[in-house]
A and B are shown apart, each in its own frame.
Chain A
Amino acid sequence: MNDTPLFKVSGVSKFYGQRIGCKDVSFDLWPGEVLAIVGESGSGKTTLLNCLSTRLMPTAGSVEYRMRDGQFRDLYHMSEAERRFLMRTDWGFVHQNPADGLRMTVSAGANVGERLMAIGDRHYGNIRATATDWLSRVEISTDRIDDQPRAFSGGMRQRLQIARNLVTGPRLVFMDEPTGGLDVSVQARLLDLVRGLVNDLGLSAIVVTHDLAVARLLSHRMMVMKDGYVIEQGLTDRVLDDPREPYTQLLVSSILQV
């Protein structure tokens, strides 16, 4: 791990009129670190994630990102062209619903290859070879490369979405409920895969989830949100094993035991 943070968030707030989306959120994220944002629905997790990933403009606050040249840039003061370029090269965004992150009407290979073509790769053979490689890395049989994602199961779609995001070698990945809507065995496999990829590639990730088990498995650090505020943050094991806030205690004790 590096001494300088990759991502510096200070005082990010988002209001929807009088309502609070999220209020005064600050944290640093270091290279290779996975941060989980947990909380019940309506607590502002997704609003915060959208603000951080510049899909939404916050009402106040700033987010700085360390570019590949080592310089920090304020995301909200970049031009839209730069921001979009960053989003499709150095970042990834994994949606809860794979249909939001994939092009459902083009083949799996083209889905993976799109980012490569967007940054100027113009050699069909190379694009296809890279796509094949990535499909096998996310455990999708390579003979499915010409199938459209709508012919894929939910778990395969989610893995395809991950491959599509990772193909340009991003340094930071945002995930919004990556395991939502999947059954438990598929969830377990996906989590295993994501954990492996994050370790191998040294990715930083910000994962939004309401599932504390996902946070436990994937993240190093976690933040608990309630009503738009971050009420507790710390190392994942500390927060889950020794929750201090009453709400966090409630959350941890609400997990169903089989």
Chain B
Amino acid sequence: MTELASYNFAYLDEQTKRMIRRAILKAIAIPGYQVPFASREMPMPYGWGTGGVQVTAAIIGPEDVLKVIDQGADDTTNAVSIRAFFQKVADVAVTTHTADATIIQTRHRIPERKLSEGQVLVYQVPIPEPLRFLEPRETETRKMHALEEYGLMHVKLYEDIARHGRISTTYAYPVKVAGRYVMDPSPTPKFDNPKMHMSEALQLFGAGREKRIYAVPPHTDVVSLDFEDHPFEIQRFEQSCALCAAHGVYLDEVVLDDKGGRMFVCSDTDNCEDRREHGHSGEMLAPSKEAAE
């Protein structure tokens, strides 16, 4: 009996992985520069992280431990399906604990816990070009990157202040990497921008539909653009997490009913669970079993 057709390790064939790795190496060598690559069709729709999945597939090995998050959560559809995908096609260990993971694929958040050397953060990017909404021509934006003409990026921030009195861009906030390329940090909240600066972990960005890969190597300057009289600021939350009472973390607002009831909870579920295990409890946390008995 002949062997049934099966997938190569981590779904992609070796030549494809090799092509993607070359793009990744080039991206690391030129921090913030968008490297074109021959993005493949993946068994999931565009917008579900086809770029991130290809980057992860190209770098993952049998010993890696994978964590996948979607808006900070390990248990939402996108995260669960991508995690299951790699369990199936690469048979790798998976985890939800940030500290245990070697590769973290993320959609729009950086874990609250500080990443360490040896970890790789893979971002799923929908639109890699920070200048796109102001300059629709790709030929022109490439030229602007090449000649370092980034005045237009400040036009966007100017518009924000003119309309709202402050820089109202809250996500996909443009950054300058290593003093050269302006980069879109994918739609992460600007709350996470400071975490990219001088990060110990390698950060890789994959845009599947737009066929671009870019990277921020460890220990690289990542500076958020701003004006002298309107400096960059991250979001601040008055509340603390309703479940783990954490302060200074990124919170999601959850609407509870149609009478104005709402709660603020950690966007990073792993961090929240970890804090609760260590005895922190917020005002809306259900009493534990022992206490109820």
Instruction: Spell out A's residues near B (CB within 8 Å).
Output: 80-81, 84, 103, 105-107, 109-110, 113-115, 117-119, 122-125, 127-128, 145-146
Q: Does B149 contact A (CB under 8 A)?
A: yes
| With contact pairs A106-B134, A122-B228, A146-B163 given, residues A127 and B151 touching in the complex (Cβ less than 8 Å) | no
Partner of B158, one of A80, A117, A119: A117
Closest CB-CB distance, B157 to chain A, in whole Å?
Answer: 8
| With contact pairs A84-B147, A84-B149, A146-B162 given, residues A106 and B229 touching in the complex (Cβ less than 8 Å) | no
B window 126-141: CB within 8 A of A:
134
Specify which of B158, B159, B230 lies most central, judged by the most chain A CB atoms within 10 Å of its CB.
B158
Pairwise interchain contact B152-A118, C-beta atoms closer than 8 A: yes
Pairwise interchain contact A122-B227, C-beta atoms closer than 8 A: yes
Pairwise interchain contact B159-A119, C-beta atoms closer than 8 A: no
Closest CB-CB distance, A106 to chain B, in whole Å?
Answer: 5
B window 93-137: CB within 8 A of A:
134
Residues in chain B near residue A113, CB distance under 8 A: 155, 158
The CA-CA distance from A241 to B251 in the complex, in Å, is 77
B-side interface size class: 10 to 19
15 more A-B residue pairs beyond the given contacts A106-B159, A118-B152, A119-B151, with a C-beta to C-beta distance below 8 A: A80-B143, A81-B147, A84-B149, A106-B155, A107-B162, A114-B152, A122-B226, A122-B227, A123-B227, A123-B229, A124-B161, A124-B230, A125-B229, A145-B162, A146-B162
Q: Does B22 contact A (CB under 8 A)?
A: no
Residues in chain A near residue B229, CB distance under 8 A: 123-125
Pairwise interchain contact A114-B159, C-beta atoms closer than 8 A: no
Pairwise interchain contact B151-A110, C-beta atoms closer than 8 A: no
Q: Does B154 contact A (CB under 8 A)?
A: yes
Closest CB-CB distance, B193 to chain A, in whole Å?
Answer: 18
Which chain B residue has the least Cβ–Cβ distance from A116?
B151
The CA-CA distance from A131 to B229 in the complex, in Å, is 16
Which chain A residue has the least Cβ–Cβ distance from B157?
A124
Pairwise interchain contact A118-B151, C-beta atoms closer than 8 A: yes
Residues in chain A near residue B151, CB distance under 8 A: 114-115, 117-119
Closest CB-CB distance, A86 to chain B, in whole Å?
Answer: 12
The CA-CA distance from A115 to B152 in the complex, in Å, is 9
